[in-house]
């Protein structure tokens, strides 16, 4: 873990050397007063920078809710541009309390994004206190030992824990390079010099890597998604030499079986989560229509006040407004979805049952009907959703797979440890395809983008299941984006 991070520190420090050039004059842009989760979950940097202080309450509300997980990436990006002590506190809590939720390789880029946001917070320096806190947190996070202590209570396997900590540490190093701060550059320089000194020591006193170092580098491969394991082992089993030891072949079969079980479990869980994401989108659409109908009803009452001037009519309008909007329309539209449905439908029922003459005189029946129709649609949308569950089982299955995979690799290295041609061929026949998959996963992490699993039978990359799309639709979009 340490060697790769220190090398990254050296490269990041070199890249950061030019970061202290005079600040360019910034063009003033109009700020947005609201924050809405983008439909495709992506939010451009310039759009994130435009979200103004009035919208931050909505951003914080998204980060507080696990149900809004699909919007976290956008909210985190906004927090980095917002600056201030609260933005830092939100980002720090997001990383520290939710790191285990990003245990799947496919979602580690979300953790990387949180550290980039912290780097932006320091770079923009909108609040001196928040800048100092964020810079200190980034420096502290470059040491994996600090996260070993913090991760004691994480309910994840040791292999996955190591992957998360490695991602955190690398991300902190990269974020420090973004800050352009003198303290950050000095820390990166110290890390680079330490790495150079260690490598110089190895060169002077070692003629070759020890066997322990070789085995460690092989066993500590990336955490592989199950589809990639199945596909790699299919190649291993199909090309395995006939004279390879039988128990190694049996072990490879068992690991592949575990990988297929994990794959099936993850597909089921991802489908449930996809349905949940689709459900949330449907609910938001239904709520938008329901809010518009309530706003229209309130507007109609205001219009009637201007048109009718008799005391009886004005009294009736005020009584109806008090019944439906006792604290104003915004208060009702801002309540939780189920409460809004219950209150709006109850108020409309009372109007029709207890105030039929007023409804008739004021000609409110069509407006009541639209409010009822919209809120019944919102209730149906709420009742249609799947909650989504099973994440713990997915992580347990994936942890078991990673352990079995490492035992297979370690066994192959132990059985064929030599550098002669036969040992090399036998060893590579077992571990070669797996190391190829590990390299592909690492390339995703280096680019700070979502790792993609592959179809276990064909090896074709699979796009994430989200936004209510089927696996076929997601794959089709992935194909078109690569053209």
Residue 19: both structure tokens together: 């970061």
pLDDT digit string, tens, across residues 181-234: 889 888 888 888 777 766 665 555 444 444 455 555 555 678 889 999 999 999
For 183, how many CA atoms within 13 A lie in the half-sphere containing its CB?
Answer: 13
Residue 54 DSSP class: G
Helix (H) or strand (E) holding 104: none
Q: For residue 445, name the pLDDT band (cuts at 50, 70, 90).
A: confident
pLDDT at 99: 87
Q: Which of 149-158, 199-208, 213-222, 248-257 has the lowest mean pLDDT?
A: 199-208
Whether 429 contacts 240, CB under 8 Å: yes
Check: CB of residue 257 under 8 Å from CB of residue 237.
no
Q: Which two tokens stand for residue 239?
A: 């090309």
Residue 204: the pLDDT is 52
pLDDT in tens, 406-443: 889 888 888 887 777 888 888 888 888 998 888 888 88
According to DSSP, residue 477 is labeled H
pLDDT > 70? residue 473: no
Backbone angles phi, psi at 225, to 5 degrees: -60, 150
Dump strand ranges (E) for 235-315.
none
The pLDDT value recorded for residue 275 is: 64
Q: How far apart are CA 241 and CA 239, in angstroms?
A: 6
* pLDDT at 341 (0 to 100): 92
Q: What is the pLDDT of residue 468?
A: 37
Distances (CA, A) of 28 to 31, 53, 69, 80, 376: 9, 15, 31, 18, 44
What percent of the chain is modeled with pLDDT above 70? 80
Pairwise CA distance, residues 270 & 465, whole Å: 7
User: What are the CA-CA distances from residue 200 to residues 143, 194, 197 (Å)?
Assistant: 21, 10, 5
367 vs 69, more confident: 367
Between 7 and 232, name the one with better pLDDT.
Answer: 232
Tokens at 473, concatenated = 């639709």
Q: How far is 253 from 67, CA to CA, in rounded Å?
A: 38
Q: pLDDT band for 469, please (50, 70, 90 cuts).
A: very low
Q: Can you give the pLDDT at residue 278?
A: 62
**Would you state the pLDDT for residue 200?**
63
Q: How far is CA 458 from the centre of its chain?
A: 27
- What is the C-alpha to C-alpha distance for residues 298 and 404, in angstroms, rounded to an integer? 63
The predicted pLDDT at position 256 comes to: 94
User: Cβ(93)–Cβ(131) under 8 Å?
Assistant: no
pLDDT of residue 480: 41
- Integer CA distances (angstroms), 53 to 33, 172, 334, 340, in order: 7, 26, 19, 27
Residue pair 420/278 in contact (Cβ under 8 Å)? The answer is: no
> Average pLDDT in the 253-268 region?
91
pLDDT of residue 193: 79
Quick: pLDDT tens for 55-98: 888 888 888 887 778 888 889 999 899 888 888 998 999 998 88
- Tokens read off for 367: 């407006």
Predicted confidence band at 325 (pLDDT cuts at 50, 70, 90)?
very high
The crossing angle, in degrees rounded to 10, of helices 108-124 and 158-179 is: 30
Quick check: 14 pLDDT over 70?
no
More confident residue, 344 or 309: 344
Backbone φ, ψ for residue 454 (5° rounding): -125, 160
| Cα gap 275→297, rounded to integer Å | 33
Whether 343 has a pLDDT exceeding 70, the answer reads yes
Which pLDDT band, with edges at 50, 70 and 90, does 320 fall under?
very high
pLDDT at 69: 81
Q: What is the pTM of this model?
A: 0.59
């Amino acid at each position: 873990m340490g060697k790769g991070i220190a090398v990254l520190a050296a490269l990041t420090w070199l890249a950061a050397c030019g970061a202290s050039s005079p600040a360019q004059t910034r063009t003033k842009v109009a700020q947005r007063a609201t924050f809405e989760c983008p439909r495709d979950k992506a939010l451009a940097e310039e759009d994130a920078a435009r979200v103004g202080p009035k919208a931050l309450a909505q951003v914080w509300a998204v980060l507080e809710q696990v149900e809004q997980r699909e919007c976290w990436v956008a909210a985190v990006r906004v927090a980095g541009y917002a600056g201030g002590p609260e933005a830092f506190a939100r980002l720090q809590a997001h990383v520290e309390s939710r790191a285990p939720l990003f245990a799947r390789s496919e979602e580690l880029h979300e953790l990387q994004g949180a550290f980039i946001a912290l780097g932006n917070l320091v770079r923009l320096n909108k609040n001196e206190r928040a800048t100092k806190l964020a810079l200190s947190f980034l420096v502290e996070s470059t040491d994996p030992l600090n996260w070993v202590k913090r991760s004691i209570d994480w309910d994840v396997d040791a292999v996955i824990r190591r992957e998360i900590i490695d991602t955190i540490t690398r991300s902190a190093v990269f974020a420090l390079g973004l800050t352009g701060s003198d303290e950050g550059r000095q820390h990166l320089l110290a890390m680079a010099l330490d790495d150079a000194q260690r490598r110089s020591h190895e060169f002077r006193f070692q003629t070759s890597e020890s066997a322990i170092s070789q085995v460690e580098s092989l066993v500590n491969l990336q955490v592989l998604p199950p589809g990639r394991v199945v596909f790699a082992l299919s190649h291993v089993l199909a090309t395995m030499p006939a004279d390879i030891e039988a128990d190694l072949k049996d072990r490879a079969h068992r690991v592949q079986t575990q990988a297929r079980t994990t794959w099936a479990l993850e597909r089921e869980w991802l489908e449930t989560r996809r349905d949940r994401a689709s459900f949330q989108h449907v609910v938001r659409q239904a709520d938008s229509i329901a809010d518009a109908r309530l706003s229209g009803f309130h507007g109609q009452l205001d219009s009637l006040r201007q048109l009718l001037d008799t005391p009886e009519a004005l009294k009736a309008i005020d009584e109806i407004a008090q019944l439906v909007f006792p604290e104003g329309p915004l208060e009702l539209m801002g309540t939780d979805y189920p409460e809004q449905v219950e209150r709006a439908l109850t108020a409309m029922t009372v109007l029709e049952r207890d105030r039929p003459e007023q409804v008739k005189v004021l000609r409110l029946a069509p407006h009541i009907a639209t409010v009822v129709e919209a809120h019944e649609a919102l209730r149906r949308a709420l009742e249609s959703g799947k909650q989504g569950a099973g994440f713990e089982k997915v992580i347990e299955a994936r942890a078991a797979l990673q352990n079995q995979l490492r035992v297979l690799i370690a066994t192959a290295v132990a059985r064929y440890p030599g550098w002669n041609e036969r040992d090399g061929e036998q060893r590579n026949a077992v571990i070669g395809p797996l190391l190829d998959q590990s390299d592909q996963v690492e390339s995703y992490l280096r680019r700070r983008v979502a790792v993609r699993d592959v179809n276990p039978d064909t090896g074709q990359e699979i796009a994430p299941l989200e936004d209510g799309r089927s696996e076929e639709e997601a794959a089709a979009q992935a194909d078109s984006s690569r053209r």
